[in-house]
Structure 1
Amino acid sequence: MKKILGLVLLMLILISATKFASPKPEAMHSIEGTWELYSFYSYDGQDISDTIEKSEGYRQVKMYSKGKIMWTRYVPDNPNGRFGYGSYKITENSLTEVIEYGDDFMMKALDTMRNFTFELILKENTFSQITLDEEGHRTSSENYRRID
């Protein structure tokens, strides 16, 4: 009986020790959801040099779901609007969008470029997709807020 009691006590100690010794890794925020653009940043290569608020009436919304992206843009001076659809992949600090089709303007642009890769700063309710130049310096960003 003493052996069984000792064995049970040892097992409890080992189980509780593994619980404290193995913390779960911090979960990365999810980009899944609906986001609206609220501003742009200009960079001097690394740091923000200017903040540009979106113009009156301008709206741009992105929706991410199950590896797919759809975005739409409305500019008051352009009644045609813009949109694109494709797939996406994120890592801890990058976002890659592969656009498959879109409006007429986007389809013409897709002849030369379909893959768009950005530096990603993702928080629970905001994210910035930062454009880098050929040397890896920051040039500009689009900044979004979660709306769903």
Structure 2
Amino acid sequence: MKKLLGLVLLMLILISATKFASPKPDTIHSIEGTWELQSFYSFDGQNITDTIEKSEGYRQVKMYSKGKIMWTRYVPDDPNGRFGYGSYKITENSLVEVIEYGDDGMMKALDTMRNFTFELILKEDTFSQITLDDEGNRTSSENYKRID
């Protein structure tokens, strides 16, 4: 009986030590889901200098699922829609999109660039993908709201 009591006491000590020694890591919000563009920001290198609202009828939607991204854009004055498909990964403060294919305009752009890296500000129902210049200064952002 003493051995059993000692064993139970030892197990309780180990369990409680594990609980205190292993705090839960901070979780980041998930970007998985469907998002619609709300606005654009211009920056002076670090701070927002201007907010540009979408024009009437303009829609841009991004869908992230299981490491894949698909985006589409509709501009009323442009009879050809825009779209792209590829993969993505996020870290605590970055978003990397690798576009594999898209519409004709996107395919021409992919000849020069396929990897798009952004600073990421991700919250539960909003995110901003911020474009940085070669020196790491903020230049512009696209700002999205979760729609699903």
Q: TM-score, normalised by structure 2?
A: 0.94
Pairing 1:122–2:122 present:
yes
- Measure how far apart 1:17 and its partner are: 2.9
User: How many positions carry a matched residue from both structures?
Assistant: 148
- Measure how far apart 1:146 and its partner are: 0.8
Greater Cα offset, 79-88 or 17-26: 17-26
**Secondary structure of the structure 2 residue equivalent to 1:78:** coil
> What is the alpha-carbon distance in structure 2 between the residues aligned to residue 17 and residue 99 of structure 1?
46
> What is the alpha-carbon distance in structure 2 between the residues aligned to residue 65 and residue 3 of structure 1?
53
- Measure how far apart 1:35 and its partner are: 0.5
Partner of 2:56: 56
Partner of 2:104: 104
Pairing 1:136–2:127 present:
no
- Measure how far apart 1:11 and its partner are: 2.0
- Measure how far apart 1:135 and its partner are: 0.7
> What is the alpha-carbon distance in structure 1 between the residues aligned to residue 89 and residue 9 of structure 2?
47
Deviating runs (4+, > 3 A) in structure 1?
A: none
| Equivalent position amino acid for 2:93 in 1 | N
- Measure how far apart 1:98 and its partner are: 1.1
| Equivalent position amino acid for 2:89 in 1 | K
> What is the alpha-carbon distance in structure 1 between the residues aligned to residue 13 and residue 89 of structure 2?
42
- Measure how far apart 1:7 and its partner are: 3.0
1:3-51 deviations in Å (ceiling 9; x for gaps): 4313312321331232133111012211111100001111010111111
> What is the alpha-carbon distance in structure 1 between the residues aligned to residue 35 and residue 102 of structure 2?
19
- Measure how far apart 1:61 and its partner are: 0.1
1:1-148 equivalences in 2 (<5 Å): 1-148=1-148
Q: TM-score, normalised by structure 1?
A: 0.94
Question: Once superposed, what is the RMSD of the aligned Cα atoms?
Answer: 1.2
| Equivalent position amino acid for 1:138 in 2 | R
- Measure how far apart 1:87 and its partner are: 1.1
% of aligned pairs identical? 90
Q: Structure 2: which 5+ runs fail to align?
A: none
